[in-house]
């Protein structure tokens, strides 16, 4: 059972969005090819879905600027621009993403008191989204992860998949992902590799389905 996890391919993380990842829109055609020709049995898309007063927003901290460190619920927290607020266009999946092929949308970041990079659980690792239960119930044995952003939500989703689905083979699709900071991307890939996550390209994935 092969699953593709598309992480946060939303307007907010693409050019013109409130927390744009450089070149974030470039992942869309790659993701569409993977969905159409990658031979996946299950396709899941995660979606940041924050309340307007989410505590990770710099606007919720007096005098704080985006992209500075603060605290949230007593823990260190990167403070972000307001982004992907539930029900807004910024939170919507990219319109050019072929959503007709997506089987399940997993929303995250609904609790204003904790940030949620991973599609599997909140950053404090207490509240689960239910995605791991879904993948286990479906008997997923290979999970390919890609999307936005490599150095945050993609990395944490892949690492949590490795920890929570020990029976599955986890892969990171590099060219179907983009990151915020080049050094952060390099570090993220190193972390994933050290955790036993394979780094592949979309060509590798598509070659496996060619006859």
In a domain, 144, yes or no: yes
Which residue in 3, 8, 84, 122 is the catalytic one? 8
Q: Is 155 assigned a catalytic role? A: no
How far apart (Å, rounded) are the C-alpha atoms in residues 147 and 48? 12
In a domain, 70, yes or no: no
In a domain, 63, yes or no: no
How far apart (Å, rounded) are the C-alpha atoms in residues 107 and 88? 14
- First vs last C-alpha separation in the chain: 19
pLDDT score recorded for residue 25: 98
In a domain, 12, yes or no: yes
DSSP string, 75-128: EEEEEB-S--BTTSGGGSBPTTS-GGG--EEEEE---TTS---SSSB-TTS-SB
Specify whether the CB–CB gap between 4 and 34 falls below 8 A.
yes
Question: Taking the complete model, does pTM exceed 0.95, yes or no?
Answer: yes
How far apart (Å, rounded) are the C-alpha atoms in residues 204 and 56? 37
Count the domains in the chain: 1
Q: Is the pLDDT of residue 172 over 70?
A: yes
Extract long-range pairs of 125-130: CB within 8 Å, 24+ residues apart. 130/106
Which residue in 14, 82, 153, 155 is the catalytic one? 153
Spatial neighbors of 133 by CB under 8 A, at least 6 apart, are none
State the CATH number of the domain containing residue 37. Answer: 3.40.50.850
Q: Is 196 helix (H, G, I), strand (E, B) or coil?
A: coil
55-67 average pLDDT score = 97
Structural domain including 186 reads: 2-51+84-207
In a domain, 73, yes or no: no
pLDDT score recorded for residue 61: 96
Q: Is 153 assigned a catalytic role? A: yes
Which residue in 108, 115, 146, 155 is the catalytic one? 108
In a domain, 132, yes or no: yes
Give the DSSP letter of residue 6. Answer: E
Give the DSSP letter of residue 65. Answer: -
Q: What percent of the chain has pLDDT over 70?
A: 99
Q: Is the pLDDT of residue 210 over 90?
A: no
Specify whether the CB–CB gap between 174 and 200 falls below 8 A.
yes
Specify whether the CB–CB gap between 3 and 135 falls below 8 A.
yes
Q: What is the pLDDT of residues 97-148, one digit of tens each?
A: 999 999 999 999 999 999 999 999 999 998 999 999 999 999 999 999 999 9
Q: Is the pLDDT of residue 211 over 90?
A: no
Q: Is 108 assigned a catalytic role? A: yes
User: Dmax of the chain from CA atoms?
Assistant: 59
Specify whether the CB–CB gap between 72 and 37 falls below 8 A.
no
In a domain, 153, yes or no: yes
In a domain, 185, yes or no: yes
How far apart (Å, rounded) are the C-alpha atoms in residues 169 and 161? 9
């Amino acid at each position: 059972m092969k699953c593709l996890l598309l992480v946060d391919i939303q307007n907010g993380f693409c050019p013109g969005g409130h927390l744009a990842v450089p070149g974030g829109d470039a992942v869309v055609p790659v993701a569409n090819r993977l969905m159409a020709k990658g031979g996946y049995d299950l396709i899941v898309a995660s979606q940041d879905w924050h309340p307007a007063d989410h505590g990770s927003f710099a606007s919720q901290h007096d005098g704080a600027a985006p992209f500075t460190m603060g605290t949230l619920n007593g823990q260190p927290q990167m403070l972000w621009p307001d982004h992907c607020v539930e029900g807004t266009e910024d939170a919507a999946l990219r319109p050019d993403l072929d959503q007709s092929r997506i089987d399940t949308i997993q929303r995250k970041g609904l609790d204003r008191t904790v940030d949620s990079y991973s599609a599997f659980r909140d950053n404090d690792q207490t509240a689960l989204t239910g995605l791991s239960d879904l993948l286990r119930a479906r008997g997923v044995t290979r999970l390919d992860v890609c999307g936005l952003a490599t150095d945050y939500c993609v990395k944490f989703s892949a690492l949590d998949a490795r920890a929570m689905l020990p029976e599955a083979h986890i892969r990171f699709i590099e060219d179907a992902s983009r990151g915020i900071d080049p050094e952060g991307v390099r570090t993220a890939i190193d972390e994933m590799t050290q955790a036993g996550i394979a780094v592949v390209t979309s060509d590798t994935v598509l070659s496996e389905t060619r006859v």
